[in-house]
A and B are shown apart, each in its own frame.
Chain A
């Protein structure tokens, strides 16, 4: 998953090109402090409205469809998609489009299969849905493992990305950058819970879309507002090859496997799924996906213009000279078009992007730790509201500290594979369990638990054996497992495990509960309390 190769940012020191990237930038600092001040203000406002667990995890279920659409988009459009895809397109042309489309097509799957049942059946985490008619303890433990594995790998990737990015853009040291990100994120989540996190996402999504749109308009104004002329200019300069599938698409199976991870991973990302609990009902959940799909799709079309714009107006050599991964393409383009102030604005937007995604991830991880593991497993569902909140906040601190420590210890690593890993685990551990437990009458506790564990462990071990780790990091001559992304194997494997184990076992409770759960899934009775 090299779109996320912004993580390579950590490796490429700024060299002597005509740019002010890497120097402390007053405008960037100013925008950045304004963003921090505004979001902390929101957090203060939200903190006074966050007294119950329902408010902490689900913003009191008062978010509207439009707001949730923006927040979903905010949670989803990480710096990887902004900087990574723009960079990928600017250096390779067409290949970046595979990622753009792949990251979008997961959304209809979420909408058609997951969003409404999730809202009608669950309370705070996706484990609520899986456990609706199965035995609580084993299902919640397995689901929490899947969630935490996804969240932690995603968090590390974002933290390392943030560290490298901020060092390049603001000239701060890597460690300082990681600690600032961790501290700000903990403040949002600890005090403001889901209300603050949601509004941080909305602000960030607005900024990101606005910044990208402004940049795209500036690019297109140089080409008579006709994207085809932009593409033609790119082809003229760098050959028709930039408009066709290129070097990224060497083995067909790898491409398909990556596509599968992107498509089904979205439907298993805990921080995305959690957002569906913040709206009042299934109807609103449905509409919010529609808005989110529109925003995200529009954004990916924009990144494509940005990528080709950077290719033509900045040039791939300059971009890769600053950062091998190409991640500085969008900021460099901003500098070329609008000078240092615009560079500062885009840099601050990129930073806000990372901060918001990290906050959403941490909140969903904290929910798995406290709501699933502590309240429903350790305390068998009897904890008081006060205790639940205390545990949730403690879990936030724990995750925040873990994220900072891991972020610092993975410094300089190419951790691109970790986002791939996060998507692959989400697609192979969480998604099959959700589908089996929602739609298949015959699924049993043992089957679903086995499916989640096989999905998580299978993905972890196949990534370990893959060329990404064996060849790129351990420098082995070849890898046992040929694919860079294991989703092609692990998604079917996880489904198969769930089905076979379910057929071999019987679970009277699960069968008996199916009618009730199916009724609740469609009618939305006795939704959350």
Chain B
């Protein structure tokens, strides 16, 4: 999951660094691809942490409990 986050963010940064025209394209007046992707990176960050916390709270914790017993 760390890898996924790194890929997401650096994908974004690399697009900014190397593909300005793509990021500048307007989807509708006022909304460029870059802004949309930036907001999506933030949303994806939330989703990833949520998925991890869900997984850890259900699977990981019960495995740890078993080992502890």
A contacts, CB < 8 Å to B:
94, 97-98, 100-102, 104-105, 107-109, 111-113, 116, 228-236, 240-241, 243-245, 249, 252-253, 255-256, 259, 263, 283, 286-287, 289-290, 293-294, 297, 300-301, 522-525
Our pick among A236, A240, A249, A289 for the contact of B49 (Cβ within 8 Å) is A289
Our pick among B2, B17, B20, B32 for the contact of A109 (Cβ within 8 Å) is B2
Our pick among B24, B41, B68 for the contact of A101 (Cβ within 8 Å) is B41
B42–A244 contact, CB under 8 A? no
Closest residue to A113 on the B side, CB-wise? B2
A112–B1 contact, CB under 8 A? yes
Interface of A is mostly: helix
A105–B34 contact, CB under 8 A? no
Cα of A406 to Cα of B61 in the assembled complex, Å: 46
A245–B49 contact, CB under 8 A? no
Our pick among A108, A255, A287, A525 for the contact of B45 (Cβ within 8 Å) is A108
A232–B29 contact, CB under 8 A? yes
A94–B32 contact, CB under 8 A? yes
Interface of B is mostly: helix
B32–A293 contact, CB under 8 A? no
Give residues 35-69 of B contacting A (CB, 8 Å): 35, 38-39, 41-43, 45-46, 48-50, 52-53, 56-57, 61, 64, 67-68
B32–A108 contact, CB under 8 A? no
Cα of A283 to Cα of B16 in the assembled complex, Å: 37
Closest residue to A120 on the B side, CB-wise? B64
- Shortest C-beta distance, A343 to chain B (Å), equals 28
Cα of A255 to Cα of B9 in the assembled complex, Å: 12
A-B contact pairs, 15 of them (CB 8 A): A97-B34, A98-B13, A105-B45, A108-B2, A108-B49, A232-B31, A244-B20, A256-B13, A256-B14, A283-B56, A283-B57, A287-B57, A290-B49, A290-B50, A524-B64
Residues of B within 8 A of A234 (CB): 30
B49–A107 contact, CB under 8 A? yes
Our pick among B17, B39, B45 for the contact of A293 (Cβ within 8 Å) is B45
Residues of B within 8 A of A97 (CB): 34-35, 38
B34–A108 contact, CB under 8 A? no
Cα of A522 to Cα of B34 in the assembled complex, Å: 40
B29–A245 contact, CB under 8 A? no
CB contact under 8 A between A229 and B61, given known A252-B18, A286-B53: no
B49–A243 contact, CB under 8 A? no
CB contact under 8 A between A105 and B5, given known A98-B13, A230-B30: yes
B46–A94 contact, CB under 8 A? no
- Shortest C-beta distance, A107 to chain B (Å), equals 7
A290–B68 contact, CB under 8 A? no
B30–A108 contact, CB under 8 A? no
CB contact under 8 A between A522 and B64, given known A108-B5, A297-B46: yes
Ranked nearest first, the 5 interchain pairs of A and B with the lowest CB-CB distance are A232-B30, A244-B24, A252-B17, A243-B32, A231-B30
Closest residue to B21 on the A side, CB-wise? A244
Residues of B within 8 A of A240 (CB): 24, 26, 32
- Shortest C-beta distance, B52 to chain A (Å), equals 6
- Shortest C-beta distance, A413 to chain B (Å), equals 29
Residues of A within 8 A of B35 (CB): 94, 97, 231, 243
Cα of A228 to Cα of B36 in the assembled complex, Å: 10
Residues of B within 8 A of A229 (CB): 30
A294–B46 contact, CB under 8 A? yes
A105–B30 contact, CB under 8 A? no
Residues of A within 8 A of B6 (CB): 109, 263
- Shortest C-beta distance, B56 to chain A (Å), equals 6
Residues of A within 8 A of B20 (CB): 244-245, 249
B24–A255 contact, CB under 8 A? no
Cα of A443 to Cα of B24 in the assembled complex, Å: 46
Cα of A109 to Cα of B48 in the assembled complex, Å: 11
Cα of A263 to Cα of B26 in the assembled complex, Å: 28
Our pick among A105, A253, A255 for the contact of B16 (Cβ within 8 Å) is A255
B61–A244 contact, CB under 8 A? no
Closest residue to B2 on the A side, CB-wise? A112
Residues of A within 8 A of B64 (CB): 522-524
- Shortest C-beta distance, B16 to chain A (Å), equals 5
Closest residue to A290 on the B side, CB-wise? B53
- Shortest C-beta distance, A477 to chain B (Å), equals 26
